[in-house]
């Protein structure tokens, strides 16, 4: 039994998956919490998958076993489908409504899925889909969608909001701190516990 809290963050190259995991790591350090993490980088230029595994307060290694994650944060609908088997039954999945189809979807002879098709596949009480890109755009930049999604997921993360915000300040480029703070707070406001 794991006494900690395990978070999977998944997306594709260039969506800020690693930055979001760094924010969580910084927030853990601010609170003096034990944290372990691991990353798998896909080929960003070709839409490869990127996953970060963050284990807060765990006593074992950095890798999360499928079926044991307490929270899944997905930056793309397809990545949510690809990694949902990591989620522990009954736990939360926060998903950005963005859909980036891989090139192979167009070169194969299979039917191309729509965002509605994938949303139906993900439907269930554990899934919350958020338009983090729109939230980030309204805050000042669509590039802050990762931080907006982190804000939306923050209600389910066992870390203080101020620690997460300080983690954002420490991890994003200085000239974008205000935009990212706003994206985090607006994302957090979208979902209420």
In this predicted structure, the answer to whether residue 103 has a pLDDT above a threshold of 90 is no
Handedness of CA 12, 5, 181, 99 (dihedral sign): positive
| Confidence grade of residue 102 (pLDDT, cut at 50, 70, 90) | confident
Percent of the chain at pLDDT > 90 equals 66
| Confidence grade of residue 113 (pLDDT, cut at 50, 70, 90) | confident
Bigger pLDDT: 76 vs 102? 76
In this predicted structure, the answer to whether residue 2 has a pLDDT above a threshold of 60 is no
In this predicted structure, the answer to whether residue 137 has a pLDDT above a threshold of 80 is yes
Mean local confidence (pLDDT), 93-119: 82
Q: Read off the pLDDT of residues 12-35 as tens digits, 9 standing for 90 and up.
A: 887 888 999 999 999 999 999 999
Alpha carbon distance 172, 130 (integer Å): 22
- Determine the pLDDT at residue 175: 96
Q: Read off the pLDDT of residues 51-100 as tens digits, 9 standing for 90 and up.
A: 899 999 977 888 999 999 999 999 999 899 999 999 999 999 999 998 88
Alpha carbon distance 102, 53 (integer Å): 23
Q: pTM for the full model?
A: 0.91
Query: How many C-beta neighbours within 10 Å does residue 68 have?
Result: 15
Structure tokens at 123: 């439907």
Rounded to a whole number, what is the largest CA-CA distance in the chain? 52
């Amino acid at each position: 039994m794991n006494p900690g809290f395990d978070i999977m963050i998944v997306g594709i190259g260039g969506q800020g998956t690693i930055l979001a995991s760094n924010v969580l790591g910084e927030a853990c350090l601010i609170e003096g919490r034990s944290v372990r993490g691991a990353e798998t980088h896909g080929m960003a230029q070709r839409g490869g998958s990127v996953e970060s595994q963050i284990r807060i307060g765990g006593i074992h290694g950095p890798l999360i076993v499928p079926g044991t994650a307490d929270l899944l944060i997905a930056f793309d609908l397809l990545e949510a489908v690809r990694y949902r088997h990591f989620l522990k039954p009954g736990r939360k999945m926060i998903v950005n409504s963005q859909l980036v189809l891989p090139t192979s979807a167009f070169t194969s002879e299979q039917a191309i899925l729509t965002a509605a098709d994938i949303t139906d596949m993900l439907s269930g009480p554990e899934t919350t889909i958020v338009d983090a890109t729109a939230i980030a755009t309204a805050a000042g930049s669509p590039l802050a969608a990762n931080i907006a999604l982190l804000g939306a997921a923050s209600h389910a993360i066992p870390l203080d909001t101020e620690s997460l915000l300080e983690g954002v300040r420490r991890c994003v480029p200085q000239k974008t701190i205000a935009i990212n703070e706003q994206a985090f707070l607006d994302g957090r406001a979208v979902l209420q516990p």
